[in-house]
Structures are given as C-alpha cells and as structure tokens.
Amino acid sequence: MTAYWAHFAATGDPNAPGTEPWPRYTADGDHIQVLTPERVGPTTEFAADHHCAFWQPAPVPGGAVR
C-alpha cells in the first residue's frame, strides 16, 4: 500500500515498479484494486464480495426512495 501511495504522490500514477498493476477506474470496466494481504490486484467482484446489492434502497410504492 505504501508503495502505491508513495509512487502516486511522486508521479500522479499509483503503478510503482514491482507492484501489481492498478488499472484506471472506469464505470464500464468497474475494476477495483484489492489490497488485502492475501490478494493484491484488480477485481470486478467487489460488489458481489461485499454484498453491495443488500445496501441498495428498497423501492417504495409510488417510486419514491427512502
């Protein structure tokens, strides 16, 4: 993590030599960088892994959002 931050602070690009590539985020690709000790690298499974759909607002009658 510190290598990514240090390289980003110095160059504006988090991709430091010797680290897994950190792809630029786009809504189309939806790649998120995982920085856990077990796995470092890009993933598109963040929403599923963290059950994000569960936290979406429930629809209410009339189309309003709570």
* Domain assignment of residue 44, given as a range: 30-58
Could you tell me if residue 37 is inside a domain? yes
* Residue 8 confidence (pLDDT) above 80: yes
**Number of domains observed in the structure of the chain:** 1
Could you tell me if residue 23 is inside a domain? no
Cα 13 to Cα 11: distance, rounded to the nearest angstrom: 5
* Residue 66 confidence (pLDDT) above 60: no
| 39-61 pLDDT, tens digit each | 778 787 777 777 878 877 777 77
Residues 6+ apart with CB under 8 A from 8: 14
Q: Could you tell me the pTM of the whole model?
A: 0.54
| 11-48 pLDDT, tens digit each | 999 999 998 888 887 777 777 788 778 877 878 777 77
Tell me what pLDDT residue 65 has: 58
Could you tell me if residue 18 is inside a domain? no
Could you tell me if residue 13 is inside a domain? no
